[in-house]
Structure 1
Amino acid sequence: MDALYDVRIVDGPVAVVCWVLALAGLGTLAVLAARPRKDPWHRAAIICLGAVVAAAAVTGVVHWLLVDIGNVFPEDLPAEVLVASGFGVLGVVLAVAALIRIGLARRAWRLRVFAVLSAAAMALLSGQLINAYFGLNLTVADLAGVSLSHIRPLDASLERPARPTAALAAWNRSDVLPAHGELRTAKIPATSSGFSARPAYVYLPPAYFAPTRPELPVLLLVPGQPGNPSDWIVGGRLRHKLDRFAADHGGVAPVAVVVDPNGSPSANTMCMDTKLGRSESYLVQDVVPWVKEHLSVAADASMWAAGGFSFGGTCSVQLLAKHPELVGSALGFAAEQEPALAKDRAKTIDLAFDGDAAAFESEVPETFFASRRHDGLLLFLAAGSRDQDFTRQAKVIAGQAQASGVEVHEFSADGEGHSWEMIAKAWPSGLDLLARRWGIA
């Protein structure tokens, strides 16, 4: 069973099988839609061309409804995702055409089954391509949630009072360390904010299990939207990345806490205190104090970094700009220049601030970067070379932060789009910058 769970679904044999089944399904639907057989082959070509046009139109309309009307996504979806989605829609359109041509005759039930299975094969490839683009679920285990089911809750023995701690700079590295860190879950109470958050994930590096714990740096991570905190565990391969970092630094790595400022996969609080929820207060007044009280970590802001992907990257920039007393560094992977609920900025202001543009603008990072100096802070911005919109926004953020005194580093992940693979390529550069800042390089 473990061998099955380890099978990759974004490439390799699984991807080949998906392509073979989908192309066979496409051919089958083209033939069925051109029935009866006495029809000339050019009829099949015309039907397929019409189906392609119809699928493109349906995909475009659905995208418009999701982005421009429903505000499900604040940005246009990547072209690769739209093309993959359109292929799945094409299967449905061809299947409908085929079923109409086949008719309701009882003896034709096998053909109807073939039509439905062929459309399902095309939809399977569509889903596989979308998942491969974002790079969220890489294996069967990821898709089935197996990699998360074994994570235990944080127990009292791992909390700060359990053992005495030492400042990291004065800590004597121990030879008695585990080879790997541990992942735990934790429900962080929303005592001050009242915000309804999902459980957090906590990574504890090998050094955390030393006879005397060092006060370790903290990496506060935020997932994208739509998304879940577990995305950093699955798509972000957080344990693997930090274990490798720890192996290169004598068992030392940051304590990483993946938090939830949204409350559900589809919610978007913009990491602000608005009528949509007090998510900023949750992070600032609940999460940060809880981490300092319950975990063996450093308290100084210079040893704290925020990081995130897309929505989470935007949130990390917001925390750096507005709360430098809490976080001294930020890793913004595909961050937006300002938080958004909709592609139309006016809609964002209407939905969250009842149309009060001044109230919204008083809370965006640009305002805080412009209103005071941020000397001594570090900001790492990364985007995929194919992700032109977020690359442009990263340059805007970089200019605003640099003008305020922030040390800014930009990274372009060659050949990548808006995906976890982009983070995989950018992550080592960002962590190396933090390591030097934390004195563990």
Structure 2
Amino acid sequence: MNELDALPLTTPSAAVVLYGLLILSVIASAWMLRKRRQALAILAVLAVVCGALAYLIIGVIINPWPGEIESVNYALFAAVVFTVGAACVRWWAVVPALICILACVGITNVQFQMYPTAGDLTAPPASVSMSYEEFSHLKKAPVQDDQPAGALVTLPAHGAVSDFPARDAIAYVPPGYFMHPRTKLPVIVLMAGNPGQPDQWFNSGDADRAAADFAAQHHGLAPIVISVDATATFTGNPVCADGPNYKVMTYLTQDVPKLIKDSFRVNPDTQTWTIGGLSYGGTCSLQVITNHPEVYGHFLDFSGQIEPTLGNRADTVREIFGGNEAAFVATNPADLLKAHAHDGRYAHINGKFIAGEDDKEAVAALTTMNELTQAAGMDTTYESVPGGHTYQVWRAALAMTFDWAAQQGGVK
């Protein structure tokens, strides 16, 4: 079982196997339709058309996730359309169709590095999951393997002031919360990417494991780590602004702090808190810090972009800011940092920028942003780690910065 758990799922060798299975599944599906040539031809054309339409609509026209989708994914979609269609024509072709679907899932995992090994698919949790109602009735830390453990709490998080239709937040509460009832803990607020959802920071980002490891070395104490929604939907991209549809900035700067203070025993001084995120969430964290430096005192920007975007500035200004370029500039981090380079507005802020070495766009963006934040008086650093725009990078980034964020909040 240990050998099976160690089976790599995201290495180049794993990718070769998965692509091989994908190709074989398509060939097998085509072979099973060899006597139904008309159906074979129709399915081949349909698959190509579906892949091309997906690219045109998602990759060009809508482009909801700039730079996030590799072109090969449209070919994967076409392969799924073809093999599933073959299974509809010949029921026994369901086997290659299933193999194709599983191969595509595996290839997506290789791209985003969500589960590096087979063991990660079934790894025991680092915390005990529960609803907020269950958490509110706890008198002592939950137990896992006969030891006090952290609680992973799901709580409703709709914006009271902003009316932002946020999905449920997920919070890790360390065992020391119960063991040291007089201690008010600092907070790390995290945001996922786009596409994304709050639980990804725990399912793929191992945020609870990083917190649990820290707590194990600090008498059960660690910051409360809460992953909040900043997009409203899995595929949404409101560019972390107060736009025509959603008031994301108001949600993150007013609703989220109040939600956390009302729900948990925390240090009420939000200047001890850290806000951070990956990709879209990283960009958003810097937007929050530069627009509202009076709220959070520290930030983590992992693989963020040079500016909030729907793909290009013209579309962003038109769709989110009503065509008002000045309104965009007034909230854009780079412009704000330049405007306040000498007035000390950001002198109390510190933060970390981290990008994957192979993520050229993020490397360029965060190198520039680090120079701008330093010029504006912030205490910031930039580092790169092995990997691309994937959870391989974001897991490592959080593990690298967790001690630092905890220390900013007074847990040493």
**TM-score, structure 1 normalization:** 0.76
- 1:428: how far off? 2.4
Segment of structure 1 superposing worse, 63-72 or 131-140: 131-140
SS state at 1:212 partner: coil
Q: Report what 2:225 is aligned to.
A: 256
SS state at 2:170 partner: strand
CA offsets, 1:147-182, max 9 Å, x none?
Answer: 79x7322248759xx99xxxxxxxxxxxxx963211
Q: What amino acid sits opposite 2:394 in the alignment? A: I
Alignment gaps of 5+ in structure 2: 141-145
Q: What amino acid sits opposite 2:336 in the alignment? A: F
CA offsets, 1:112-138, max 9 Å, x none?
Answer: 456564354234312211123213366
SS state at 2:165 partner: coil
Q: What amino acid sits opposite 1:76 in the alignment? A: G
CA offsets, 1:58-98, max 9 Å, x none?
Answer: 7566334313201322x1235xx4335525535656898xx
Say if 1:289 and 1:87 are closer, same or farther in 2 by CA, change over 3 A: closer
2:112 aligned with 1:153? no
CA offsets, 1:364-404, max 9 Å, x none?
Answer: 11232223331132111111111111111111211221111
Say if 1:71 and 1:407 are closer, same or farther in 2 by CA, change over 3 A: same
Q: Report what 2:348 is aligned to.
A: 376
Say if 1:29 and 1:227 are closer, same or farther in 2 by CA, change over 3 A: same
Contact 2:270 2:296 in 1 (8 A): yes
Q: What amino acid sits opposite 1:127 in the alignment? A: V
Distance (whole Å) between structure 2 residues aligned to residue 358 and residue 16 of structure 1: 49
% identical equivalent positions: 28
Contact 1:88 1:122 in 2 (8 A): no
Say if 1:401 and 1:64 are closer, same or farther in 2 by CA, change over 3 A: farther
Aligned with residue 265 of structure 1, among 216, 234, 240? 234
CA offsets, 1:5-62, max 9 Å, x none?
Answer: x8989459998985664354255357668889xxxxxxxxxx9xxx8xx96x975663
Q: What amino acid sits opposite 2:350 in the alignment? A: L
Q: What amino acid sits opposite 2:22 in the alignment? A: A
Which structure 1 residue ranges, 4+ long, deviate > 6 Å from structure 2? 6-9, 12-17, 32-36, 138-144
Q: Report what 2:335 is aligned to.
A: 367
Q: Report what 1:425 is aligned to.
A: 396
Say if 1:264 and 1:8 are closer, same or farther in 2 by CA, change over 3 A: farther
Contact 2:210 2:402 in 1 (8 A): no
Aligned with residue 126 of structure 1, among 92, 101, 104? 104
- 1:329: how far off? 0.8
**TM-score, structure 2 normalization:** 0.81
Distance (whole Å) between structure 1 residues aligned to residue 246 and residue 188 of structure 2: 24
Q: Report what 2:365 is aligned to.
A: 393
2:383 aligned with 1:411? yes
2:25 aligned with 1:25? yes
Cα-Cα RMSD: 4.0
Contact 2:207 2:395 in 1 (8 A): no
SS state at 1:307 partner: strand
Q: What amino acid sits opposite 1:66 in the alignment? A: I
Q: What amino acid sits opposite 2:28 in the alignment? A: T
Contact 2:157 2:169 in 1 (8 A): yes
Q: Report what 1:62 is aligned to.
A: 54
CA offsets, 1:199-235, max 9 Å, x none?
Answer: 1111111221124331111101111111111111211
Contact 1:204 1:256 in 2 (8 A): yes
- 1:440: how far off? 3.3
Aligned with residue 168 of structure 2, among 199, 216, 225? 199
